[in-house]
Chain A
Amino acid sequence: DAMVIQNPRYQVTQFGKPVTLSCSQTLNHNVMYWYQQKSSQAPKLLFHYYDKDFNNEADTPDNFQSRRPNTSFCFLDIRSPGLGDAAMYLCATSRDPGVREKLFFGSGTQLSVL
């Protein structure tokens, strides 16, 4: 049974057209993360929520925003996608913050920008 669900699996958008990716979880975890992974590269953390507290990575572009309306859902908004934003976007959860906690990943959303 999928515990971290990402929709859609594939998303195609146009250059500059806003796009929203979604993530939901059934684990009731406190922390939700968004990672960006480009082909053959390591996943890069964009930001995370600890409950309602938003934590942005210093080098995450302003073009990327996130919302967490409740415990179960988290959204990634890309306000004006560029060609360089084409990547796999991974959502992950953990019970509590801190690297001692195991991460649970969704299957990812592959974003293409035309």
Chain B
Amino acid sequence: KQEVTQIPAALSVPEGENLVLNCSFTDSAIYNLQWFRQDPGKGLTSLLLIQSSQREQTSGRLNASLDKSSGRSTLYIAASQPGDSATYLCAVGSNDYKLSFGAGTTVTVRA
């Protein structure tokens, strides 16, 4: 069974600092990995999807890397802003239809 871990559970940084969020998974036989953003009391918004054959994906200030062999993915957010405050979840696609989610890292960007 795929286990997905995100450490730390919470992170607080001053505005302008680069954010580094970590995701680790136990089974390297994955199809893809997604990063989601969740605002308080809201649903999830997909940020980036990395296929298993890819090493990274970029969208604006966001960059996600994937190292299947070590079971790790990292989400980088450059020049953080208060509007980046949210919970970020990673989800690993291992089976035909199910994603295994991590519990998320809650980020606070201080103005």
Partner-B contacts on A (CB < 8 A): 4, 6, 31, 40-43, 45, 48, 50, 55, 88, 90, 92, 97-100, 102-108, 110
Contacts and interface: CB of A to CB of B under 8 A. Distances in A.
Contact of B32 (A99, A107, A108): A99
B98 A43 contact: no
B97 A43 contact: no
27 contacts: A6-B43, A31-B97, A40-B9, A40-B103, A40-B104, A42-B4, A42-B89, A42-B100, A42-B103, A43-B101, A45-B98, A48-B97, A90-B44, A92-B44, A97-B96, A98-B96, A99-B32, A99-B96, A99-B98, A100-B31, A100-B93, A102-B46, A103-B99, A105-B44, A106-B43, A107-B43, A108-B41
A45 B44 CA distance: 14
A100 B89 contact: no
Interface string B35-50: 0100001111110010
Contacts, number: 65
Interface in B84-104: 89, 93-104
